[in-house]
Structure 1
Amino acid sequence: MTAGHFERALARSAARAGATLSVDSHRAVAWHSATFSGDRHELTLRAAADPALDAWTAGFAQLDLGMRGHLLADLRVAARERHGSHIVLRVEGLTVAYAPR
């Protein structure tokens, strides 16, 4: 999965929830288990401090990003800092590849 694909999927999801964000950085590392392969993601996101952002991040456990050929297996906020009217989030995630039928 390309980094841009994952970033756009996150941005679309946030926008549907009423939050606007930008990606400051994104690092993706290939990940493999005995039966699955995918990527571990580390992102730094910046967004306006807003209840919509809080609601969106609170729902990460149920989030479906609709990424063809990939499932979101895990997504969590690892760190959150307020900088004036903006929030900076460090987000960690895991995507798993699958063959769509």
Structure 2
Amino acid sequence: MSRGPDAATLLVRSLETDSHRAGCPARVMESNWTRWASATFCGARHELSLDAEMSPELDLWLDALPEADLPLRRHLVADIVVTSVRRAEGIATIAIEALTVEE
């Protein structure tokens, strides 16, 4: 029996859904992850690249993202950081790093 989508897939879906709700639809262009573990937790480190049209709503969404509640089934987003935003010709290319842990 399949356990369903992995944390990377869930994170991509959650970011895209959350950006749409915020009025600044973003699309994940690239997503890479590596397994991660500490003495008490297991999870993954994620690096994502998103594209979105530049707008005040996008700026607000990016500012609020580190505190956002991004629901992932059987996982928690322990940390999420916008590491860079490149703007050109009306499009923002956003780099994000995240840490998810298994519940």
- Match of residue 52, structure 2, among 47, 50, 59: 47
Aligned mates of 1:61, 1:2 — CA distance in 2: 18
The runs of at least 4 aligned residues of structure 1 exceeding 4 Å deviation read none
Please state whether the residue corresponding to 2:40 is helix, strand or coil: coil
Alignment match, 2:19:
14
Instruction: Report the alpha carbon displacement of residue 60 of structure 1 after superposing the two structures with TM.
Output: 1.7
TM normalised by structure 2 equals 0.90
1:62-81 map, 5 Å = 62-81=67-86
**Structure 1 spans left out of the alignment, 5+ residues:** none
Alignment match, 2:62:
57
Aligned mates of 2:14, 2:71 — CA distance in 1: 7
Alignment match, 2:93:
88
Aligned mates of 2:63, 2:100 — CA distance in 1: 19
TM normalised by structure 1 equals 0.91
Instruction: Report the alpha carbon displacement of residue 2 of structure 1 after superposing the two structures with TM.
Output: 4.1
- Match of residue 37, structure 1, among 28, 39, 42: 42
Aligned sequence identity (%): 37
Aligned mates of 1:2, 1:72 — CA distance in 2: 9
In 1, are the aligned partners of 2:76 and 2:101 still within 8 Å (CA)? yes
Please state whether the residue corresponding to 2:71 is helix, strand or coil: coil
Amino acid paired to 1:32? A
